[in-house]
Amino acid sequence: MRHSKLLDSERFKTLSEKESPTAFPKGPWVAGKGGGFEAPLLRKFADKVASAGYFVVVPDLFNNDPYNPATSFDAWIQNHQPLDLVPGAKQVIELLYKKGFSSVGAVGFCWGAKVVVELAKGNSLKAVVVAHPSLVTVQDIQEVEIPIAILAAEFDTITPPAIIEQFRDVLEAKPEIKSFVQIYPGVAHGWTIRYDLDNPEEVAAAEEAQTKMIVWLDKFLQCKTT
C-alpha cells in the first residue's frame, strides 16, 4: 500500500487513497516493540483496513517521539499524557472533513483507546473501536455518545475483564448508543496489534479481532465523499 502525507508534515501520514476515511489516534505500545507510525504491525493492520476500501490515517500524535523501552518511561510519560493527544487527533478529524469526506471513524489501541473514547464523547466521529484499552474508566464509557465496540483480552492486567464487564453494563443501560463488547479468551493485553507472526494462534486471534473492527466500522461509515 502506498504511503503518503496527509499534511505537509511528518506528523500525519496516510496509507491509502480510498474513498472513506478511518482515523487512527493511537497510543504507544509499552512492551519492547516501540511505537508510533513506524511500528510494522500497526502498518500491516492499516493496510488491511485500506484494502477493505477505507482512506486510512495513522497520525503520529507523539511528534516523532514514541516510547522507547531503552529510555525512562517515567520521564517520557510526563510529556505524553493521553489527554494531551486529543487536540492533535481532533486536528486530523477536522482535516478529513475539510478534504470532503462525509464520515470518519476511529480505532484506538491501548493508550489510543483513551484518546478515542474522549473523542467518542462528542459527535465528530460516526463510530469507534477500542482494543485492549488502557486508562479508560467507567465514567468515560458513561459519557460516550456514538456507536462503540470494545474488544478486550481475557488475560489483561491493565484493564481486566471485570472492568470490561462494567463497561458492558453501562452500555447495555444505554440502548440508544449502539455497542458491541467482546472479551477474547486466551489472549493478553495488546494481542490485536502486538503479536508473534510465527505463532499461528496469536496471528489467528489478531486477525479475527481486526476483521471484527472492520465489520463494525462498515456499519456506520459511508464510503463516499461530499
Instruction: Calculate the average pLDDT of the chain.
Output: 79
Task: List CB contacts of 154: < 8 A, sequence separation 6 or more.
Answer: 161, 183, 184, 185, 186, 187, 188
Answer for the pair 14, 56: CB distance below 8 angstroms, yes or no.
yes
Question: Does pLDDT of 110 surpass 80?
Answer: yes
Task: List CB contacts of 34: < 8 A, sequence separation 6 or more.
Answer: 66, 67, 68, 69
Amino acid at the residue 103: S
Cα–Cα dist 163/160, whole Å: 6
Confidence tier at 34 by pLDDT (50, 70, 90): very low
Chain CA centroid to CA 19, Å = 20
Location of C-alpha cell 472492520? 214
Partners of 181 in beta bridges: 150
Confidence tier at 171 by pLDDT (50, 70, 90): very high
Give whole-number Cα distances, 108 to 71, 138, 175, 192, in Å: 24, 17, 23, 11
Running DSSP on this structure, what letter comes out for residue 84? G
Task: List CB contacts of 41: < 8 A, sequence separation 6 or more.
Answer: 33, 193, 194, 195
Over residues 143-166, the pLDDT tens digits come to 999 999 999 999 999 999 999 999
Looking at domain 4-218, its CATH architecture is: 3-Layer(aba) Sandwich (3.40)
Question: Does pLDDT of 26 surpass 70?
Answer: no
Please give the grid coordinates belonging to residue 11.
506528523
Q: How many CB atoms lie within 10 A of CB 13?
A: 19
pLDDT at 173: 98
pLDDT at 222: 65
pTM: 0.83
